[in-house]
Each structure stands twice: as C-alpha cells, then as structure tokens.
Amino acid sequence: MAGNAPAAPRPGDLQGRVALVTGASSGIGAATARTLAARGAAVAVNYHRGETPAKEVVEAIEAAGGRALALQADVTDRDQVRELVERTQTELGPVDVLVTNATGLYGFEVKVAPFTSTSVEYTEWIVQRQLRAMLNPVDLVLPGMIDRGQGSIVAVGAALSRSPAPGFLPLSMAKAAVESAVKVLAQEAGPYGVRVNGVGPGLILTRVADGLPEQALRANAQRAALRRNGLPQDVAEVIAFLAAEPSGYLTGTYVLIDGGTAMV
C-alpha cells in the first residue's frame, strides 16, 4: 500500500452504495471516507467537533466527482445517532456500508498508567464510551440492512485487542470487546445477507501519534516486520476491501493492520 496518496478509483466496487463513516474528519476516518468515495460510494462524513476538516473531506470527495455530506453527531448519544442515520438516509439513501471509526472519547486524554493508579470508575467510563460509539450506530443501521437483505459493517478496533499492554487496561478491554462484538454480530446478521468485520490497527501516524516521542515512534517501527509505522491509507484500503463485494465471503474477520508487529 502506497503511503497516504489518494486511492485509485475502482468504480465497480461500491458504485451506487451509501456509506456512513463515524469519526471521519481526520486520520483513519477521513482516509476511509475518501477511499470509499473513490470506489463509487456516496459518503456521510460524521464528525463531532471538527466541522472544518470534515467539510474539507467532503470538498475533496466532491472535487473528485463523488457525493458526500458532513454530519455532526456525538455517537455515544443515541438520539444524535438516530438523527445522523435519518439525515444520511434522507439525503443520500439507505446505509449500505457502516464504518464505526469514532472512539467516543473526543479529545479526552487517556491515561497510560497501571490500573492501581487509576480507578474502576475511570476504566468503566472509557470502556462504556467506546462501546456506545460502536453499538449505537450498529443498532440503528443493522435492522435496515437486515430488511434489505444486504449490507456491510466494519468496526475499527485496535491491535490492543490481541496484544494488550501494561498501562492500557481500559483501551485493551474496550478493543477486545469490539472484536468479540464483531464475531457475535457476524453470526447473528449473516443469515440475512449482512456481513460484519473488524480491523485492528497498530500504531498509525494520525493526530493521536503526534503526541508520542520520536523515540517511541522509531522503536515501534523497528518492532514491525515491515520496519515502518502505519499510515491512515493503509487502514482505509483494508476497510474498503471489507466493505465491497470482492470480500463477499468474508464475515466475522478481524484484520490486524500493524505491519507485522504482533508476530515478531
């Protein structure tokens, strides 16, 4: 996968489909929105506070000949998600592809600390926000997919679900729950023609990584079999594959996108 360059158009993959991507104003979400649009999908670009960058994503999609709109919503709030889904359906059409990328933390600085230095309440709050960010959109989109007999859901988790690390208990728990939810939902939705998959990115060079020391970034790159850190487009390409018909016999899959870090 080449850098952070725009995806090459593949009009047949998602032509005529409608995609909703949560947390799509920057990073993985923005790259995913642009990539799905390049494959032919009309894309609802969800954001919480990043209105300007979300509109820039929409402008880039439209400049390339695609359809998109920016929609504000806190995905941990069920009423806001209901309005998000309804506006998507009204302005673009029924949701065929759902990508749950938003974490629901919205700029909250997660503590990297042992459990004994935090609290049960803190851990519960992190896990609850992350699960609501995934499950609220799924709950409000999946019934329509089942009624229509088709659809694809891709949940963005993290490699922490497979490789939990000291100091990351809340995030490790939340991401493991996302992976388990993918596998259960895939079994429940599969008989109705709906696929559910997930991705577990490792260290990706997004805004979150900007706060990491350069030494930590270099060390992570050296741990990876590919000897580099990931880019948002690396993740977006896998999500686009899972969303489209070429992966039509894949469901319940959770793809680690970590450059081979977990196996070395």
CA torsion 134→198→144→149, rounded to 10°? -170
Distance from chain centroid for Cα 140: 17
Q: Give pLDDT tens digits for 30-77.
A: 999 999 999 999 999 999 999 999 999 999 999 999 999 999 999 999
pTM reported for the whole predicted model: 0.91
- 194-201 and 18-21 as β-strands: parallel, antiparallel, unpaired? unpaired
- Write the DSSP assignment of 11-25 as a string of letters: HHHHTT-EEEESS-S
CATH code for the part of the protein at 11-211+232-254? 3.40.50.720
pLDDT in tens, 135-154: 999 999 999 999 999 999 99
Q: What would the pLDDT profile of 225-254 be if each residue is shown by its tens digit?
A: 889 888 899 999 999 999 999 999 999 999
